[in-house]
Copies of this chain bind each other. A is one copy, B any other.
Amino acid sequence: MTRIFDCTNSSFSHLCTTRNFLFNKHIRPIPKNNPKPNPKNHDHLSDTPKHPLDPLTLVEIQKVRSTLSSHALFASRAPHALHSVVLEEPDKNLVRQWEKGNALPPRKASVIARVFSDSHVLTVDLSTGHVDIVDSPVRVLGFPVMTFNRTIISPGLNLTDVICFPISSGWYGNKEETSRLIKIQCYLTQGTANFYMQPIEGLTLLYDLDTKQILEVSDTGRAIPIPSPNNTDYRFASVPTLDKIRILNPISMEQPRGPSFVIEDNHLVKWANWEFHLKPDPRAGLIISRWTRDVMYKGFVSELFVPYMDPSEAWYFKTYMDAGEYGFGNAVYMDGIFAAADGTPYVRENMICVFESYAGDIAWRHSENPVTGLPPIREVRPKLTLVVRMVASVGNYDYIFDYEFETDGLMRPKVGLSGILMVKGTAYENKNQVKKDKEGNEEELYGTILSENVIGVIHDHYVTFYLDLDVDGLDNSFVKVNLKRQETKPGESPRKSYMKAVMNIAKTEKEGQIKLSLYDPSEFHVINSGKTTRVGNPTGYKIVPRATAATFTNNQIWATPYNMSEQWGGGFFTYQSHGDDTLAVWSERDRDIENKDIVVWYTLGFHHIPCQEDFPIMPTVSSSFDLKPTNFFERNPILQASPYFERDLPVCGTESVSA
């Protein structure tokens, strides 16, 4: 599954500025459009960890490999593979106490290895070379993150015309219990780069990842034509020259004085009042840690879930657990160093990009006329944003993960969804051909006819964020601030009622299970009741849901006590998991969470009823939520922010720059 990010074609000129900045070079003119590979760190051989949370270096991964090669577990000639080699993060208290200049806590690697069909979780001490064999935190029937390679992609079919690959896994029957099986579907590649729009409908193969054999070929045999490739190619190169018309002039963000953030020691991002540790991760994509002044210890995408809505044989198994199954990753300007299945390190270049953004929005404003006798007032502050972006192309879908930091203390995780729809073939070329029963009900299509013989299937996307908030320290509480309609007493007021804020502190996990309610509105605060503001309010941050799709059978927000082993909402092993090691199971223990070190989980959802505008490639749809200070600051933290002045702004000409 391809994971190629392309700031290179999207020409974020401000990113390019950032790029030069990142590597402490101020080259002018800046190549706007074809950033070269990193001028330094390209081989990463000289990388050394500077922070307790820094990811494993290339050299450290090599050491893990050599250490394991001599380990008894791998001494035999048994087939084995490493599925994950990542930093075993030091104890949270060690990290919180650590200060720059201190020695790093002992460096350890956490390894998931498969030998035959067994999964092992190992810890490798990088200083002593000692190997610990650990039990997986909760024993479940599940499989490690899969590491794909081309060897499984061609089950004997002619690759010049047809491409077959596993769309997803998921739980589909008993025969998989003891082996790693995957469903494979085939597409015609003739005539378009967008083969996803040419499904060979009804044909699916059941494939054994271990024996690399096809166990079952299922062809429902319906005479469903393969859709035409017309109008499916989205590459600019494939646009007829005469149609290559630009309807809009270019616009770019310019920073004549350079960007306002620095990245120290490769991972420490400093901007405005914010500072946080940023690192790539093969599963979560990116991880943000130690967001200070103490707000969040760690935040990342814990799980991504795309249940497909079409239950027919060739489709029911399309239940995506991408984050868990395929791992995540790509973006620009920070490289990821990961381990291949044989343990050798490789570099995923430009996996994360960081840039500042300005869209003409207003941070705050007020106008006052001279009625007060004072001179007229016109005060406005521009809203600037720091964006940390990671884009993952997971098969047909492209997920854009942005973490937007604003100067007023707000942080907005945002998920953008683009790429190609999963479609199914149909014999219908027009909606008016759809069969009706005697009551006149149309045959269920499970979606929308997007083009002749193509149905876009209705589906959802759910993304669960792990948010280990530490507001002004560890002792936090999760508070539901409920707006209740309060009747007024007779004669108290001409108003019959008013809205009253009622604070409910969650004592245990079950009280921290939240289903959003539009008509019983609440705010959701994480407060430190031990720290109060000058006028006595507990300091806090709130989770502000925005537009989201939800299911009543799931909670949108959870609060759980911090537990190092509870980070992957779908389970540490997600592949074909039965769901015994999940957020829902942990939370059912109903542990105490008042004045504790707590973790908040937020699930953001999309319902997607495809329409023709999504064909052959989807315009990005986005959803987000906010982490927002609430009595965290004594007053508006950007009260004294400067407005813009003419002298600050760039002088721009129209000449182009040669790369």
Contacts and interface: CB of A to CB of B under 8 A. Distances in A.
Contacts of A356: 248, 251
Given A249-B258, A312-B493, A451 B535 contact: yes
Given A273-B247, A398-B367, A619-B408, A612 B633 contact: yes
A11 interface: yes
B365 A189 contact: no
A490 B517 CA distance: 34
Given A4-B369, A316-B493, A636 B654 contact: no
A616 B644 contact: no
B371 A165 contact: yes
Interface stretch (A30-38, A63-71, A107-115, A130-138): A30-38
Contacts of A330: 367
Contact of A651 (B15, B231, B652): B652
Interface in A223-238: 231, 234-236
B645 A651 contact: no
Given A535-B449, A612-B633, A249 B259 contact: yes
Interface in A432-468: 432-433, 444, 446-452, 458, 460
Nearest to A619: B408
A444 B500 contact: yes
A127 interface: no
Contacts of A252: 253-254, 358, 644, 649-650
A13 to B, nearest CB: 5
A632 B619 CA distance: 14
A78 interface: no
Contact of A257 (B236, B244, B249, B517): B249
A313 B537 contact: no
Shortest beta-carbon contacts, A-B, top 10? A2-B369, A431-B536, A311-B493, A33-B646, A6-B378, A11-B644, A250-B648, A647-B656, A359-B359, A10-B380
B272 A6 contact: no
B653 A638 contact: no
A376 B2 contact: yes
Contact of A379 (B9, B429, B651): B9
A420 B366 contact: yes
A79 interface: no
A494 B311 contact: yes
A46 interface: no
29 contacts: A1-B369, A2-B367, A7-B380, A10-B362, A10-B365, A33-B645, A33-B646, A163-B371, A172-B494, A173-B494, A234-B639, A236-B640, A244-B642, A245-B642, A249-B257, A250-B255, A311-B488, A359-B385, A361-B620, A361-B622, A366-B393, A366-B398, A448-B537, A449-B536, A519-B551, A519-B552, A533-B612, A613-B633, A649-B657
A184 to B, nearest CB: 13
A364 interface: yes
Interface stretch (A117-125, A205-213, A541-549, A573-581): A541-549
Contacts of A372: 163, 189, 193, 195
A219 interface: no
